[in-house]
Structure 1
Amino acid sequence: MGMFTELGILYARYRPERMMEHLKIFWSRLNIPKVIVACEEAHLWTELVFLYVHYDEYDNAAITMMKHSPEAWEHGAFKEVVVKVSNLEIYYKALRFYLDEQPMLLNDLLTVLVTRIDHNRVVQMFQKSDNIPLIKNYLMSVQSVNNLAVNTAYHELMIEEEDYEGLRRSVDTNTNFDNMILAGRLERHELLEFRRIAAHLYKRNKKWRQSMTLSKQDRLYKDAMETAADSKDGSVAEELLQYFVESGNKECFAACLYICYDLVRPDVVLELAWRHGLTDFSMPYMVQFMREYVEKVDKLEKAHEERVEKEKKERSTTEGTTILGPGGLGNTMMITAGPGMVVPQATGMVMPQGTGMNMGYGQQGGFGF
């Protein structure tokens, strides 16, 4: 070991071009700490990284590669080293290093670090430097964790890029973000689709009237009707119906009656139609309502008749049981002649013997004693 070690030191001092070959062949026979010192003195950074890696000094290897990147850094080797470091701060130093020197490789580095880093800290780091667009792929890949910082940063990026489809997918898939803050920002956006997402967020958070107001402003009447129907609130639906009447939108009046059929009251519909000349537009609703009303009455009548018939049967069964059943006449025990009793032929009356009384009919049919 001493010979190979001293030879390596001599190569480092006088033949640096042969040093790497020597290390690759004989690294297992070297006193690595001594050769590391020689490489540092000779500024052989690539060789120094090689020795650190084979001596399991991954932290020093990663730091050396970042400090002396023109000579020692190589992307593939760095990814293999950085995942083995023990000091977690090196992860964030590596991200800063890539941000400064290799920004296009950031997402590739984040891919191997995604299970080891704190997403909140990463997002905060790139927000401070205003470089969120550089980590777009990373944000998309970690959205499944439903992290507040990640979702918020991704939404900001989608708004900046005017990608309303990506934003709509995100708000429908992930829930960990401030709905009201995002909706408040989007309702003032110049693009219609972003204002539509704001109305969708208000609806999802049961802010029915705010959602309907946005939809009415943008003439998205179908969205307004669906919001009213989802609210399950008759007053909300009738308020929208009144709006269509006042704005003279007869077709939407009829469509709202269809979508909010279960919420609007028929007397309100009939009054609005009569007062504003919308009878033709309300007639389909009224026909359907009358049809269902008649069916309900028929069902109630049938149920009433069945109940009356059932009660009759139960009453007749109960009465039969009372007369002939237990305790009724059918089971009443008759008094019969017991032993020692005399039954007179004429009357069938039972008389006890030995009572000392001579009872019988007189000549005129009365009792005689």
Structure 2
Amino acid sequence: MSSPLATSSRSPAIASDISIDPAVFDPSSIAPDTRAVNAGIVKALGAVPDRWVFPMAMLRKLRLEGKGPFPLAPESPYAQVIEIAGPHGPVPLRILTPPEPAKGVYLHIHGGGWTLGSARENDGLNHRFVERTGFAVVSVDYRLAPEDPYPAGPDDCEAAALWLLREGAARFGTERFVIGGESAGGHLSVVTLLRLRDKHGLTPFRGANLTAGCYDLGLTPSARLWGDEPLVLNTRDINVFVGHFLREGGNVATSDISPLHADLRGLPPALFTVGTRDALLDDTLFMAPRWLAAGNPAQLAVYPGGCHVFIGFPGSITDQALARSYAFVTSL
């Protein structure tokens, strides 16, 4: 996947590389441990009854109790929870602070199709992030659909970003801020960047660490054509998630809902990470060049056989992808 690096004149310290070696899409490039992880996921999810017959609140409760299809990571000893004011009421923030002075702050927005997931469920990845980068992590427990549909979740993420800009320097001793997330969290990260730019005239984040984001809620071809295979996420799941998120309506062609359609000028350097066995593959493949074409440094990392948000599962490509993301963040 290596190629000559083109450096942006606007941010000369940040290299851009969105070239892709076609070999990453060859099934023969998939490592044996990646194949084994994917087979285990399909087996585990294939054994679960139709989860969409259960209320979302029940599914969330089971996941937090460690009774979901995948193990719950141990709670991080670095974690504490505070609440900040938001437009719809209090917004919990789960803050992981390193033992040494923070080298920066990562505003993390979790995934889960805007309906599931929590900051607590990301303690494993976020604890590792703190230890490998020296950054503090602020993970947002934004409101979830269908109980709180669009625009509640994006509003909460916007409020969290504004809180960090007001309080971050005093609380963490640094104004080196990075934003990022996975899946719906990647989507909400970009929406938050656009809102800060367009509503507040602010471009405070040095970078965006975006993993397997969903950037077009009208569904890109890979999402539409994926089918039923339960490799973390399938076409039906995406349609269910979008339906809950937009329960009270919304135009999927607007940038606040589908940031792939936005004017992306003036945004920070971004690292886009995705696996080739991800139903949202096209979202990343389409967004990375648009980011670059808008004049923003962009790096694209595509991993053979990686499932949706494969960094949440052990394996060699997970280690590679996380190491690259840590290097990206600490270079900003």
TM-score (norm 1): 0.19
- Give 1 or 2: higher strand fraction: 2
- Give 1 or 2: higher helix fraction: 1
Q: Which has the higher contact order (CA 8 A, sep 6+)?
A: 2
